[in-house]
Amino acid sequence: MPKDAEEHRKDAAYKQAKREGYRARSAFKLQDIQNRYNIFKRAYYILDLGSAPGSWLQIAKKYAELNLTRYFDKYYHRDHYKIMGVDTKKLSPLEGIKIIKMDFTTPEFLIEVSKYFEEEKLDLILSDASINKSGNKFSDQARQTKLCFNILELTKFLKFKGNFVIKIFQGVDFENFYTKMKRSFMVVKSLKPKSSNKKSNEIYLIGLKKK
Ligand SMILES: C[S@@+](CC[C@H](N)C(=O)[O-])C[C@H]1O[C@@H](n2cnc3c(N)ncnc32)[C@H](O)[C@@H]1O
């Protein structure tokens, strides 16, 4: 059976990810977001929620390392970075990155974050976390939005003017979530990355400059 355009696009992105050493095609979604909004500018303390298999962590590490030399000036910079990734699924290790296997909606996770970052505020929080889809678009969307509201609580760890990226599904409750995000960030943008499945209702919200 001939492949449709979407399958061809996925295949090409999969091959490109393999070629460039990324663990998943999702790397290109985060790269698109970075190209558009420069979310990694001066980002050294980074938390990635729902990290498996780890391609967003690979991108985060690339920029955090770059920032160590790029911004060695009189403005905000650090001489080291700290990146933490969390998932309920097991992740293969990535050098220099703290990986924990747990549900990030639990109180234990808050303790892990405070411990690893030693109570310091974060520059950037990323979330590509998704619920396990049931196939029922309506309930999947509602469950994803509920997860997103939980994730939004974690932005209390962000510093003033820190950045945030989150994946959400468009549908009912989307507007409520968007409105709530606008209360916490000076600028909120939405982006459907070029590499996203055109048929899916997933979209990324980018919160710039935490209030
Ligand atoms: C699309 S994948 C992430 C892909 C990743 N950004 C990458 O580039 O490799 C979404 C992940 O979110 C995780 N996830 C969803 N809810 C979670 C939760 N409450 N706690 C931890 N992980 C969660 C899932 O286990 C899944 O691995």
What residues contact 192, with CB distance under 8 A and at least 6 apart?
202, 203, 204
| Tokens 């409105």 sit on residue | 179
- Indicate which residues carry an active-site annotation: 167
Tens digit of pLDDT for each residue in 150-183? 999 999 999 999 999 999 999 888 999 999 999 9
- Mean pLDDT for the stretch of residues 6-11: 75
How is the chain split into domains, by residue range? 26-210
pLDDT of residue 1: 45
pLDDT of residue 196: 81
207 bridge partner residues: 164, 188
Q: What is the CATH number of domain 26-210?
A: 3.40.50.150
pLDDT at residue 197 is higher than 90: no
pLDDT at residue 119 is higher than 50: yes
Rounded to 5 degrees, what angle do the CA atoms 62, 63, 67 make? 125
Q: Which numbered atom of ligand 1 lies nearest the CA of 58?
A: 8
Tens digit of pLDDT for each residue in 67-99? 999 998 899 999 999 999 999 999 999 999 999
| Tokens 């000036």 sit on residue | 73
Q: What is the pTM of this model?
A: 0.96
- The pLDDT > 70 percentage for the chain reads 98
Q: How far is the CA of 52 from the centre of ligand 1 (A)?
A: 6
Q: How far is the CA of 196 from the centre of ligand 1 (A)?
A: 16
pLDDT band at 3 (very low <50, low <70, confident <90, very high): low
The pocket around ligand 1, CB under 6 angstroms, is made up of 23-24, 26-27, 50-56, 86-89, 103-105, 128-130
Q: Which numbered atom of ligand 1 lies nearest the CA of 23?
A: 9
Distance separating alpha carbons of residues 49 and 51, to the nearest angstrom: 6
Alpha carbon of residue 173 to chain centroid: 20
- Mean pLDDT for the stretch of residues 177-205: 92
Helix (H, G, I), strand (E, B) or coil at 191: strand
